[in-house]
Structures are given as structure tokens and as C-alpha cells.
Amino acid sequence: MQEPFIIKDCALLAIASGEKAHNLQELADRIVMVHPGCLYYHFWGGLLRPRFDDPEFRNDFASWVRHELHDEILAERLSIIIPTDYASLEQLRQELLEEIEERLDETEYSYLMRARVPFNFIRSQIVVFDTQIRVEEPRGLKDRIPDLSRSSLFYHFIDARRRVEGRHDDFSEWLSAFGDEYDELIEALSNVDPYLSGLSELRERVKRIFNRHMPG
């Protein structure tokens, strides 16, 4: 008998690290040393904090480089760094550094620009709690998706990638224990890029996938 799926929810707290960068070199220097939680926050935290659902840039580094250092080229390069492509936050840190250092090598301009508003490094603290909702079988999970809170979806579909081996979401992990019956559904879920949409839009996409693979 498969264990029930436990629906959890989470709340994210932001903590100022005290580290600031006023120019690109300082940004690189701070990225080397900051807590990995800062990278998590600046790539993913935007989904759970005040901003428009469809911002110009998905990560804070790209946005700051564009709006404070006015370096459109680097901003575009940073904006296509997709955190789910990296096995760990340390690998993500390396990629980020390489892009910035390459830009520093390319142009003197990058050394000269100084931001009016510094980049303030923030790290996150996540509190996870049990909603007391249990789902016994896959169809029950499908029925629950439309009512999941945005933060619950964040926990099961995004945060899961840090916890689950193979960087899956929690839904796929649980469904895989039912044999190969749900392989197509799992495959479809794995093709969803959670980084390029807001949480409300993501919930709609996940809902549509469940409906398509579990009609009726």
C-alpha cells in the first residue's frame, strides 16, 4: 500500500545578510562568499514576495545589473540562467560568477559603473507545516491541485527540487511509486519549467497537465 501524499505548505522569511554590492566587481566578490540561501532567495524568492506576476527579469541579479548598472548585455546573459539546470546551489554560484567575470574581462565600463541603490544580499528561511490534508490515490491529488495555495505549490513543485533526489517535484516522486501507470504524467510534469511563470500561472499549467492525463 502506497503511503498517502501529505500536502504541506510553507512560509518564507527574508533575512538581510548585511552584505552589499555597489558595482560589478563587488557583486562578484560577495557572490563568492555569501550563504547559499542568498542564491536561493535571489533566484526563487521573487515568486513569493511583492512584485508583478510577470516581471522583466526572473532573478534579482539580472534586474539589478539592468536597472542599477545599466548593463543590458550582462542582464540578458544573467536572465537566462535557469536555476533548475544546476544540480546544486554551488554549481549555480559558479555559473553566475563565470558570467560576471567574463563581462568584467570584456569591458572597462563594467568596472566604472556604480549603483545608486546597492545590491542587498538577502537569504531566506523557510518554515514548512503540515496542512493535515492527506491524499490516498493519484486522482485525489488531481482534485487538490486547483485549491493548492501558491506557497504550497512553491513547496511541492519548486522547493522539492532541492530535497528530492533527481531534482523532481514532490508530485512526480509520489506518482512514480505507483508503477509505470503515470509515466506520461510524470514526463509531462518534468517538462514544465517552473522558473518562467508566476505561481498562479504555474498552478494552471499543472492543473491542465493532470486533467489531460487523468480525464474525467
Helix (H, G, I), strand (E, B) or coil at 120: strand
8 A C-beta contact, residue 160 and residue 174: no
Least separation in angstroms between residue 19's CB and another protein is 10
Amino acid symbol at 176: S
Q: How far apart are CA 135 and CA 139, in angstroms?
A: 9
Least separation in angstroms between residue 4's CB and another protein is 18
Q: How far apart are CA 64 and CA 7, in angstroms?
A: 35
Least separation in angstroms between residue 151's CB and another protein is 7
Grid coordinates given for 52: 508583478
Residues contacting another protein: total by CB under 8 A: 30
Looking at residue 159, the DSSP 8-state letter turns out to be: I
Select 1 or 127, whichever has its Cβ closest to another protein: 127
Kindly tell me the burial class for residue 15, based on how many C-beta atoms sit within 10 Å of its own C-beta (0-12, 13-18, 19 or more): middle
Q: Which of 124, 171, 172, 202 binds another protein (CB under 8 A)?
A: 124
Using the contact rule CB under 8 A, the part of the chain among 21-29, 90-98, 119-127, 166-174 near another protein is 119-127
Least separation in angstroms between residue 99's CB and another protein is 23
Q: Which of 18, 166, 179, 215 binds another protein (CB under 8 A)?
A: 18
Site for another protein in 50-109 (CB under 8 A): 50, 52
Residue 151 interacting with another protein (CB under 8 A)? yes
Using the contact rule CB under 8 A, the part of the chain among 5-13, 73-81, 102-110, 181-189 near another protein is 5-13
Strands (E), 67-112: none
